Amino acid sequence: MNMIANHPPTAELQALDAAHHLHPFTHGGELKQKGARVITRAKGVTLTDSDGNDYLDGMAGLWCVNIGYGRDELAEAASRQMRELPYYNTFFQTTHVPAIALANKLAELAPRDLNHVFFAGSGSEANDTNIRMVRTYWAEKGKPEKNVIISRKNAYHGSSMGSGSLGGMSFMHEQGGLPIPDICHIDQPHWWKEGGDMSPEEFGLERARQLEQKIEELGEDRVAAFIAEPVQGAGGVVIAPSTYWPEIQRICDKYEILLIADEVICGFGRTGSWFGSETLNIRPHIMTIAKGLSSGYAPIGGSIVCDEVAEVINNCEFAHGYTYSGHPMACAVALENLRILEEEGIVDRVASHSAAYLADKWKGLADHPLVGEATTIGMMGSIVLTPDASSRAAFAGDEGDAGLITREHCFQNGLIMRHVGDRMIISPPLIITDAEMDTLVERAWKALDLAHKQLK
Ligand code: PLP
């Protein structure tokens, strides 16, 4: 039997899934007990599960389905490319048309002199590329000891040994021997949680200056690069205070360390520009990309690299690459996705309309008694659940319980919203309509009401 074309009922699917499928970021015991939610199809911003329930996908999958679900053009691009050339590699002086076309398109879209692309299969792989690339860059320049990469606590840069080490999630570091050597972490610019009595502006400066302190502590001649997400996504959609990025940029310029902007979430329109670096006025040497590059329709990521770094890397044979670097089908799908984002004015519409509409609706949630603050940037947002907004208090008991309860009420009411501790976060498809944003906020309010009653 072809199980995909003609699947068994939900309970049977869940039992088979629990018996044979190991899931990412999932507790196996809970999976066995409750069963996974089985998603069977999707269109626009709506997901449907195996029992026929619909959900408004407030997370665009995992922050990736920027053009929304169900675009036949991408299926056709994949099918055309699979018939023409399903696979060939880009190793050993070989190339193919989809990789050439996509690299050129990305060079056109990326700001300034970010003109060169190294392809990978995912954001994690791309960040692993970045670790090796920046270290190779400094070694080629005769400074092999300049190999420390500074990142931030509570950052997320992927799950592989390298990218998981760049990330600053302590619960990830507790498993599997992370971080690898010569990666260190400074504190995050998370004012709500860690800002104490400082104003957001003072706090932003204080946190940015930790980078300078770390460089001085390690010695300038040891530091290769600083990596950060323009807006921390998986950390809870943490938007840094306005003083933070200008100070980080000043420090990177002063000490001539490479700046890597991890645009895996922020890229391709999420913040209202093609790249979060443009929205926040950051000038990276390398940008990590994935997710919205293909709107999640095909697995593809990469590093967009500036002229200077590419020139040095091109002086040697960079002994690095993945079987699927520049996979032809994934490149063809990504190109079609970029065409749609551009020609249908999806990124422009975020900037000229949808971001402001969402911000306006979302900030209304701050009036809910369970909510401390409600913030957005472009098409991503967060609310903080708190028993007392004025003191930015956390709930007694385990952090995340209130978030979990609220998330479950969201599911029960047809909304997918994620929680990070007691922050609820959204990142819907960029094509979401005004009426759908109204529905999203209405359902979020209802879930908050139910959670509030339960928490009393
Ligand atoms: N970087 C950031 C900022 C991310 O949010 C993610 C995934 O969520 C990654 C890297 C890793 O990407 P992937 O899951 O494609 O390996």
CA–centroid distance, 276 to ligand 1, in Å, is: 15
196 conformational bin, left if phi > 0, alpha if psi -120 to 50, beta if neither: left
Note the ipTM here.
1.00
Distance CA 335, CA 331 (A): 6
Cα–Cα distance measured from residue 345 to residue 348, given in angstroms and rounded to the nearest whole number: 5
Strand 258-262, strand 301-306: pairing: unpaired
Structure tokens at 79: 């099918």
Ligand 1 atom nearest to 291, measured from its CA: 15
Helices then strands, each counted (H, E), the chain: 18, 15
C-beta 124 within 6 A of ligand 1: yes
Residue nearest to atom 1 of ligand 1 (CA): 157
From 65, 265, 295, 380, mutation site for ligand 1 pocket: most ligand atoms within 8 A of C-beta = 265
64, 157, 287: residue to mutate for ligand 1 pocket, most atoms within 8 A of CB: 157
CA of residue 75 to ligand 1 center, whole Å: 23
Cα-based angle 340, 342, 344 (whole degrees, multiple of 5) = 60
Task: Answer yes or no: is the C-beta of 262 below 6 A from any ligand 1 atom.
Answer: yes
Is 152 close to ligand 1, i.e. is its CB under 6 Å away? no
Among 59, 127, 156, which is best to mutate for testing ligand 1, by the most ligand atoms less than 8 A from CB? 156
- CA of 390 from ligand 1 middle (Å) equals 34
From the CA of 161, how far away is ligand 1's center (Å)?
Answer: 13
Backbone angles phi, psi at 373, to 5 degrees: -145, 155
Which residue puts its alpha carbon closest to atom 10 of ligand 1? 157
**Ligand 1 pocket residue status of 290, Cβ below 6 Å:** yes
Give the pair of three-digit tokens for residue 218. Answer: 């390690």
Q: Residue 122 Cα, ligand 1 centroid: separation in angstroms?
A: 7
Q: How far is the CA of 209 from the centre of ligand 1 (A)?
A: 26
Instruction: Determine the distance separating the centroid of ligand 1 and the alpha carbon of 236, expressed in angstroms.
Output: 14
Long-range contacts of 112-116 (CB under 8 A, 24+ apart): 112/283, 112/306, 113/306, 113/307, 113/308, 114/284, 114/286, 114/287, 114/304, 114/305, 114/306, 115/305, 115/306, 115/307, 115/310, 116/304, 116/305, 116/306, 116/307, 116/309, 116/310
Q: Mean pLDDT per segment of 10 residues, for the chain of length 456 residues?
A: 87 96 95 95 98 98 98 98 98 98 98 98 98 98 98 98 98 97 98 97 98 98 98 98 98 97 98 98 98 98 98 97 98 98 98 98 98 98 95 87 96 97 97 98 98 92
Residue 381 CA, ligand 1 centroid: distance in Å = 18
Ligand 1 neighbourhood includes 122 CB (under 6 angstroms): yes
| Pocket lining: 229 vs ligand 1, CB cutoff 6 Å | yes
pTM (predicted TM-score): 0.98
Distance 314 CA to ligand 1 centre (A): 26
SS3 304: strand
Helix pair 328-343, 97-109: axis angle to 10 deg: 40
Distance 391 CA to ligand 1 centre (A): 33
Q: What is residue 36's predicted lDDT score, i.e. its pLDDT?
A: 96
Which of 59, 62, 291 gets mutated to test ligand 1 (max ligand atoms within 8 A of its CB)?
Answer: 291
**CA proximity to 390, closest of 354, 357, 366:** 366
pLDDT for residue 1: 66
User: What atom of ligand 1 comes closest to residue 127's alpha carbon?
Assistant: 10
Residue 155 CA: nearest ligand 1 atom is 3
Q: Which of 184, 193, 174, 286 is nearest to 235 (CA)?
A: 193
